[in-house]
Amino acid sequence: MQRNQTRSLLGWIGTYALWIGMTLITLLPIYWLFVVSARSRVELFGRPTLLQTTFYVQNYIKPLTNPTFQRYLTNSLIIATSNALLVAILAIFATYALSRWKLSGSDSIFFWLITNRMAPAAAFILPLYLLFTGWFRIGSTTLFDTRIGLILLYCLFNLPFAIWLMKGIMDGIPIELDEAAFVDGANIWTVLFRIIIPLAGPGIAVTVILSWVFAWNEYLFAASLTSVKARTITTGLAEFVTVTGTNWGEMAAVAFISLLPALVFLAFVQRYIVMGLTFGAVKE
Amino acid sequence: MRSNRMGWGLFAPTLIILGIMGLLPFIYVLVVGFTDWNVFSATGKPEWAGANNFRRLVFDAEFLSSMGRTLLFTATVVVSELVLGFLLAHALLKDFPGKAVFRTIHALPLMVAPIAVGATWRLLTVPGFGIAPFFLERWFGIDYNIGSHASHAFVTALLMDIWHWTPFVTLTMLAGLSALPKEPMEQALVDGANRWQVLRHLTLPMMMPVIITTSFIRIMDALRIVDEVYLLTGGGPGDSTRFMGIYIFRVVMQRTDYGYGSAISLLVYYFTLVLCWMLFIALTQVGKQQE
């Protein structure tokens, strides 16, 4: 009896030691980012300490009042929000079609959709750059350096993911519900907006949030397909390193601003991510 | 009422957008890869070059070394993340007060933009005020400098990736482990099997589908890594962290050698597919042998 108690006590200590250690490792780089963002140049190159008691607010005020940075931030907000909504709507339509109709060849199409997500982004930069600057044009207006270009392009990785996530949710909604509505004379839009969307609500919310975060986080396409007007916050962040070089405090502040939305959203979606990540693989 | 036309109608917008943004660029790169198109070409337009670009690739030491480096990087991070993620997911199976909080914090790096991860780790390791060089020097006497030591930069890139992506593996493994039936394991323990045998002969084979899916996603992401490393080291010092994605970016955007860049892109794409396919075969074989 005594030995068992000692063993379980050791087990508890081990569990907490492990998770407190993991938490420290996870948070240390982010904590340090915050510390750097709160320090002036003079403080920064003094003796490195982990503790921070002052807050050099200038690091945040300067980028936030800079029109260029404000434009980057607005662009990121508009692009991520529009893309997330567009992706959610298209994914609702597509998964509803996939789950209610036996479309010929839909299995191979589904597989092709997923491979879009897996394609290495670096391999797509060049063709997209050429298409955006040359082929996709109306008169002299091209998709290059426009928000709409990025909003459409981000569907390339967000839409397959959203369809993957929503397919199971759609299949879970009993077909009898929409059949009864059709018998009562409802049309397809009434069924979608009055029955399907309310029932799939939580799943749609998670899809929107995750798509938003992925679009907000994207860098490579934004860096190569925009130049001035449609630049996003992630490209702005990279410019701190390549162009202005050494303004570490401001760079840290911008990086910290860029990861704030993710921190806020994480609390909401964390539980659902675990569910979504099952990939249906275990059920078989 | 429920005609197939309506189904296709709902599906069409998705197909059109992905066709334009996914299929069209792929066809484009397929064609351009067989042409000579760069600032030095006579007409400034793509000229048919047959397999010349691919012949050039085979002798391009810069590309080959970036490929080897990417493979080493991918193998190291994927194996480390799978092992770590599996163990951590196992540790999350039993309930203890505060579990939800620890799990949420553990998942945090997942949501951070890769480019911000790069920025964060650069601040951690930058010579001058980063805490990593300072404490490594003070406690261990190591002259840690990712700006001048190739191996330090490479190892830092590895650690950064493991920090960033282990949570993803933990979450997928946790989802898989919690969905497993409990009876076979409990029965085996009652019958006198030890924990290692249960893990080796029951849990691992049953987890194979999840492990395969997770490995695929991680391998494909690791093979195309650009953002984080670009901000951490810019590919340097020298070429010590110039991975395939960064090399393509240099050839296309900086040297504007479109034909050659396309050829490399094609090869990388093909290479990713083949590697995943081989891995799939290998893993399913292992799975069969265990049954």
Write out chain A's pLDDT in tens, 284 residues: 567 788 888 888 888 999 999 999 999 999 999 988 888 877 777 767 777 778 888 888 888 888 888 999 999 999 999 999 999 999 999 988 888 888 777 777 777 777 777 666 777 787 888 888 877 777 777 888 888 889 999 998 889 888 887 887 888 888 888 888 888 888 888 888 888 888 887 788 888 888 898 899 998 889 888 888 889 998 888 887 755 556 888 888 989 998 888 888 877 776 666 555 554 433 33
> Closest Cα of chain B to A228: distance in Å?
16
pTM higher than the cut 0.80: yes
Residues 6+ positions from B168 with CB-CB distance below 8 Å: A277, B81, B85, B110, B214, B217, B218
- Residue A174's CB: how many other CB atoms inside 10 A? 10
- 3-state SS string over A208-258? HHHHHHHHHHCCHHHHHHCCCCCCCHHHHHHHHHHCCCCCHHHHHHHHHHH
> Closest Cα of chain B to A175: distance in Å?
12
The rounded distance, in Å, linking the Cα atoms of A96 and B113 is: 31
Q: Are the Cβ atoms of B11 and A131 closer than 8 angstroms?
A: no
pLDDT at B119: 87
CB nearest to B105's CB, from A23, A127, A241: A23
Q: Are the Cβ atoms of B2 and A100 closer than 8 angstroms?
A: yes
CB nearest to A90's CB, from B13, B231, B266: B13
B210, B173 in Cβ contact below 8 A?
yes
pLDDT at A284: 31
CB nearest to A266's CB, from B2, B107, B121: B107
- Scan for tokens 């110039």, then name that residue: B242
**Average pLDDT rounded to a whole number, residues B74-103:** 90
pLDDT at B43: 64
CB nearest to A120's CB, from B32, B180, B272: B272
Residues of chain B in contact with residue A263, where contact means CB-CB under 8 angstroms, are 108, 111
Element (H, E) at A142: strand A141-142
Q: Which residue in chain B is spatially nearest to A238 when comparing CA positions?
A: B231
Q: How confident is the model at residue B290 (pLDDT cuts 50, 70, 90)?
A: low
Q: Are the Cβ atoms of B10 and A96 closer than 8 angstroms?
A: yes
pLDDT at A28: 92
Residues 6+ positions from B202 with CB-CB distance below 8 Å: B184, B185, B188
Q: Which of A175-179, B115-119, B166-170 has the lowest mean pLDDT?
A: A175-179
Q: What is the sign, positive or negative, of the torsion defined by CA atoms of A189, A190, A194, A200? A: negative
> Closest Cα of chain A to B39: distance in Å?
14
The rounded distance, in Å, linking the Cα atoms of A190 and A82 is: 24
Residues of chain B in contact with residue A29, where contact means CB-CB under 8 angstroms, are 120-121, 124, 163
Q: What is the DSSP string of B164-214?
A: HHHHHHHHHHHHHHHHS-SHHHHHHHHTT--HHHHIIIIIHHHHHHHHHHH
Residues linked to residue B48 through DSSP beta bridges, in sequence order: B35
The rounded distance, in Å, linking the Cα atoms of B14 and B44 is: 35
Mean pLDDT estimate for chain B: 84
**Average pLDDT rounded to a whole number, residues B48-61:** 81
Residues of chain A in contact with residue B128, where contact means CB-CB under 8 angstroms, are 45
> Closest Cα of chain A to B60: distance in Å?
18
The rounded distance, in Å, linking the Cα atoms of A72 and A83 is: 16
- Residue A1's CB: how many other CB atoms inside 10 A? 5
> Closest Cα of chain B to A40: distance in Å?
12
Helix, strand, coil tally for chain A in percent (to 5): 75, 0, 20
> Closest Cα of chain B to A168: distance in Å?
15
CB nearest to A94's CB, from B14, B96, B129: B14
Q: Are the Cβ atoms of A120 and B102 closer than 8 angstroms?
A: no
Q: pLDDT tens-digit profile of B13-29?
A: 988 998 888 888 888 88
pLDDT at B83: 95
**Average pLDDT rounded to a whole number, residues B33-47:** 72
**Average pLDDT rounded to a whole number, residues B225-242:** 85
Q: Which amino acid type is present at position A58?
A: Q
Length of chain B: 291
Helix-helix angle A201-217:B114-125, to 10 degrees: 50
Closest CA to A48 of B224, B174, B133: B133
pLDDT at A141: 79
The rounded distance, in Å, linking the Cα atoms of A236 and A240 is: 7
Residue A121, both tokens: 């982004």
Backbone angles phi, psi at A142, to 5 degrees: -115, 170
Would the ipTM clear 0.90, i.e. be above it?
no
pLDDT at A66: 85
Interface test with A, best of B129, B207, B274 (most A CBs within 10 A): B129
The greatest distance separating any two alpha carbons of chain A, rounded to the nearest whole angstrom, comes to 84
Q: Which of A179-183, B8-12, B41-45, B263-267 has the lowest mean pLDDT?
A: B41-45
Q: Is the pLDDT of residue B78 over 90?
A: yes
The rounded distance, in Å, linking the Cα atoms of B213 and A36 is: 38
Closest CA to A80 of A210, A186, A264: A210
Q: pLDDT tens-digit profile of B261-271?
A: 888 888 888 88
pLDDT at A272: 66
Residues of chain B in contact with residue A15, where contact means CB-CB under 8 angstroms, are 91, 94, 96
Residue A29, both tokens: 């780089």
Closest CA to B235 of B223, B249, B221: B249
Residues above pLDDT 70, as percent of chain B: 94
A257 touches chain B (CB under 8 A): no
Q: How confident is the model at residue B241 (pLDDT cuts 50, 70, 90)?
A: confident
